[in-house]
Amino acid sequence: MNKILMISTMLFSSFAQAADVKVINIGAATSPTALFANAYSKNLSISNTFVPAKSCKDAMAIAEKEDSVMIVPNDIYLQSQRLGQECSPKLEPNNILLMSDAYFEICRKSGNKTTFRDKDVTVGRASVHPIKEWTADFNKRNNTSVKGIAFSGSRNVLTGVLNGDVSWGVIAREIAEPAVKEGKIECPYNTEAASSRSLHRFFGMINEEYVLKYLLITNTKNPAVLEDLRRAAKDTRFLEYLTESKHSNIVTEVSKKHIDLYLKSLADLNLLLDSFNNK
């Protein structure tokens, strides 16, 4: 009996090792999602390959053919809707390895006294964000003349703020905080509704917050692969990385309740789209 068990375990292990899981990131190589993908893949025991995808549509095409893990923040869904593309990974508890939230700091270069109420203020954001919709809504509600500027990711937004290319930047918290500690930037506002510095407490906003709700989602039907994917998502080093990267509400045992919260965040983002399209 022990021999049979040992042989079965060896076969199971060999089967897992033979797989090459595609870890798919949708977006720029410098984006927080790419850092997230690389941090996760380091904890996998099975062979894996990092795969960049330009859109959710491209990611879904790869995922349909391969054992894969996709990192799908809620703004990717929004981008897909804007482009009229399909983005529909299977949202069931068994497919989702992890969920987490990531907020943004709203920052200007230290010493820069520009306010949102000044004329022709520029605000840099990652291009995947709903820039034109947010800008139009913000200006309408606050009688301002803010102009949104697209960058490839938060690191480039930070560079733009430091170089004076934009007055303000909406920067992923994990990227902003080191620059704050170094005295390079100051961040009077953020996008977290519960914070005393939340932008909606000072200005009219259609949404009280802007949060990236991350999904780490897989399509594999291979039990051995799925076991290692789940183990890596719960790995202490990966969870420490998420905490250090300012992720919150980290969940590794996903239920329908958590999926409903994710779907609600999509509905909230759609309020912005609808407001812009129906203006």
- Nearest one of 23, 25, 27, 24 to 154, comparing CA atoms: 27
Each of the 279 residues of the chain gets a pLDDT tens digit; together they read 454 444 344 434 444 455 699 999 987 777 788 889 999 999 999 999 999 888 888 888 888 888 899 888 888 877 777 777 777 788 889 899 999 999 999 999 999 999 999 998 999 998 888 899 999 999 999 999 999 999 988 899 999 999 999 999 999 999 999 999 999 999 999 999 999 999 999 999 999 999 999 999 998 889 999 999 999 999 999 999 999 999 999 999 999 999 999 888 888 888 887 777 766
pLDDT at 9: 43
d(CA 62, CA 89): 12
d(CA 266, CA 270): 6
- Model confidence pTM above 0.85: no
Residue 34 phi/psi, 5° resolution? -70, -40
Q: Indicate the CATH number for domain 104-201.
A: 3.40.190.10
Beta-sheet pairing, 185-190 with 104-109: antiparallel
pLDDT at 273: 75
CATH of 2-102+211-277, one of 3.30.720.110, 1.20.140.10, 3.40.190.150, 2.40.30.40: 3.40.190.150
Q: Where are the domains of the chain?
A: 2-102+211-277, 104-201
pLDDT at 81: 74
* Contact call for residues 102 and 247 (beta carbons, < 8 A): yes
Helix axes of 32-41 and 173-181: crossing angle, nearest 10 degrees = 100
Domains 2-102+211-277 and 104-201 fall in the same CATH topology: yes
pLDDT at 122: 98
Residues with Cβ within 8 Å of 164's Cβ and at least 6 positions away in sequence, in order, are 109
- Nearest one of 212, 203, 30 to 104, comparing CA atoms: 212
pLDDT at 217: 93
